[in-house]
Structure 1
């Protein structure tokens, strides 16, 4: 029995070493990172889409009674929530817990990157490609032209940062805005499930308002301030990266401010109905 236990432990360790070697030699190897990361992002979307469909069909009785387009949007929102959680965690780690973009290090902060930061951007590229494909396929059911503009600008900026290694700091600052996505999706889930008058719907609305204000309004103000303080380093970027550094955050900030007005109006309407 002990011999069998030792054999199982050795087998597990063997698989662990093989997995580590696969990640080190292929997934995070410099020449392959952009390709493996994008494919990993697309694969993640497919897996999460199917898992959302399976779990929802099993645990949510009303799922099978939804129209086909509603079920597809339901699964799509599960996929976008998974990406949002992943990229939010990676953004917080790289910006606040690692030294990659620290001012303590020498050299322009606008040119710093690592295999992990590049890989994470590639996963996001895979997600945005998948989501854009679904938006075009089902247009305009999953979103109108504002979503197309948002996704295309995001994809261009992330691809450039991933391939060139320039401006990854600002790319991750913008990607933190994905922290609002799970709240947006939960609001849609609750509405579709007929729980618009529930306490959960109200609490989610308040949380969504706060996270949107912090992540999509105040953080952008800080981003523009950071660009101002490090403008001499931004000037050293390639002209295309220089333009993206200003254009993408500005356009997204305008869109975020417009959507924030709608969120504020919706929250006021929900609160007034409860009084």
Structure 2
């Protein structure tokens, strides 16, 4: 009887902690994150429909594509739109805004956020949800399991930073890697358009190589160095936030290295054919 009562008290304690966490983070000023997620989803739908409409009128080759290729054509326009938006916002917050500056004496850098930073992350969550839905619906034509893992990790990390305000700086550092997406998409468009042997295709491959090296290799090294320098602040985060800040970038870094090896192999193959 005593053991049962103790168990009930423990369960009640966990419930109270969960409710306190919910009120403190998820329900606090909830209009911005949830409105931004919906806005991101709506924006993705609009870009998809506009791309399909414009492509059907202005690109003669669009009608000759298979249904799978048309879906990917429209899907890549969404990812390009998101990449441009989140890259601009990420570069602003990481390198130009004072929000996460060490010179700003406004508490730990790991707990700083603003309405704009939260809104931008919400738009990104909306995109990742929309894109993950399309990947699963058309699986595996839009990407294999590695894309599913990538998006699930991204949703978990970005959503947590958006809802709690924890670790937003490191989230934006990781999101700068989206700067490589437009180049990857352009490469696919050039391939579909039959321009695989063109100078534009080769130049695009070179740009992807350097963009990937900077945004997905060197920047991740800087991210881990920044975490090391500010670990006294990082360890003050909740366990979930600490896990996401350390583990998610580590997993993505490994995936980036694997993809970078494929990029190098593909670039060598393309340059060899040009000789």
Q: Structure 1 unaligned runs (5+)? A: 1-28
- The residue number in structure 2 matching 1:54 is 53
Q: CA deviation at 1:30?
A: 3.4
Q: Structure 2 unaligned runs (5+)? A: 1-27
Question: SS state of the match for residue 63, structure 1?
Answer: helix
- The residue number in structure 2 matching 1:224 is 224
- The residue number in structure 2 matching 1:145 is 145
Question: SS state of the match for residue 196, structure 1?
Answer: coil
Deviation per CA, 1:194-227, whole angstroms, max 9, x where unpaired?
1100111011100000000000000000000000
Asked whether 1:76 is paired with 2:75, we answer yes
- The residue number in structure 1 matching 2:165 is 165
Q: CA deviation at 1:272?
A: 0.6
Asked whether 1:271 is paired with 2:271, we answer yes
Question: SS state of the match for residue 62, structure 1?
Answer: helix
Once residues 101 and 261 of structure 1 are traced to their aligned partners in structure 2, the CA distance between those partners, rounded to angstroms, is 33
Asked whether 1:204 is paired with 2:204, we answer yes
- The residue number in structure 2 matching 1:246 is 246
Contact 1:30 1:115 in 2 (8 A): no
Once residues 30 and 142 of structure 2 are traced to their aligned partners in structure 1, the CA distance between those partners, rounded to angstroms, is 35
- The residue number in structure 2 matching 1:97 is 96
RMSD: 0.9
- The residue number in structure 2 matching 1:12 is none
Q: CA deviation at 1:31?
A: 3.2
Question: SS state of the match for residue 61, structure 2?
Answer: coil
- TM-score normalised to the size of structure 2? 0.89
Moved over 4 A (4+): none
- The residue number in structure 1 matching 2:258 is 258
Once residues 245 and 185 of structure 2 are traced to their aligned partners in structure 1, the CA distance between those partners, rounded to angstroms, is 28
Asked whether 1:112 is paired with 2:139, we answer no
- TM-score normalised to the size of structure 1? 0.89
- The residue number in structure 1 matching 2:34 is 35
